[in-house]
Amino acid sequence: MMVTGGAGFLGSVVVRRLQEAGADHVFVPKVEEYDLRTRADIDRALADGKPDLVIHLAAVVGGIGANRENPGRFFYDNAIMGIQLIEQARLARVAKLLTVGTVCAYPKFTSVPFHEDDIWNGYPEETNAPYGLAKKMLLVQSQAYRDQYGFNAIYLIPVNLYGPGDNFDPASSHVIPALIKKCVDAREAGDAFIEAWGTGSASREFLYVEDAARGILLAAERYDGREPVNLGVGSEITIRSLTELIVRLTRFQGQVRWDPSKPDGQPRRALDTTRARESFGFTAGTSFEDGLRNTIDWYEARRTNN
């Protein structure tokens, strides 16, 4: 089998779990050796890996700031990589291809909780629409290839992921690692306050990376349907409440100053997780506080060691 993005945050956990489950050979096309935006390198990766299953996790992605600064790059890189991979995998007679999409594909104003049938009911939130639409086209392609060629391509939609190994770079990180870094660094420096983007009123749902990897493996093993499937926990938290929780868990004693000139992003995000439970038996098993503590501990240990 082949896992694109297998050296990344989610991919490394998926690869480890595959190996723990007894997978004999998991091929990871490293970005230093294979540029998956080019057809020749995709063909080379498929020839080298000889997979019967491809799990497509590779993506060019970031938080709200990175999305605002790179809309063209995020659209092109994600679209061209996925479109060519699905086509070349079909031509190489790969038995099954699993694409991991994004919750950013959902319309900006979607009734909560988001159900998979809602995905075409409007335009995505503007700051991440190019990324979300590029990923959503891979759902269209997967369904079209299933209909015309009988290609077994499935599509999962995870919510925002977090956990040890996440991206803590302030230029491209998502909200949880960004807040953890701000709070821990401010605590260590004795700062009186941190700044947080937006108003804090938006809500998000977060899935622990280990749970996400387990859901992906269950789908790879048990799901062969044409319809997209949400991966999440089925509950949401406001960014303000999330910030207060991270402040408490990191033992930061200062203030939080909100900057309403910065965007909140999509107003609400929470998924209906019924289809994943009924289709392949997935439910998230990690409590949010436990997952956050593990993530904070990982960052603090890494920060100390560096």
Q: With 90 as the cut, is the pLDDT of residue 305 above it?
A: no
Q: With 90 as the cut, is the pLDDT of residue 218 above it?
A: yes
Mean pLDDT over 172-194 rounds to 93
Mean pLDDT over 167-189 rounds to 91
Q: With 80 as the cut, is the pLDDT of residue 66 above it?
A: no
Q: What is the dihedral of CA 72, 73, 76, 78, to 10 degrees?
A: -130
Q: What does the domain layout of the chain look like in residue ranges?
A: 2-162+206-234+268-285
Lowest pLDDT segment from 59-68, 102-111, 126-135, 282-291: 59-68
Residues identified as active-site = 131
Q: With 60 as the cut, is the pLDDT of residue 115 above it?
A: yes
Mean pLDDT over 65-74 rounds to 84
Q: With 60 as the cut, is the pLDDT of residue 257 above it?
A: yes
Q: Tens digits of per-residue pLDDT, 100-112? A: 999 999 999 889 9
Highest-pLDDT range among 68-77, 262-271, 285-294: 285-294
Q: With 60 as the cut, is the pLDDT of residue 306 above it?
A: no
Quick one: pLDDT at residue 246?
97
Look at domain 2-162+206-234+268-285 and name its CATH class: alpha beta
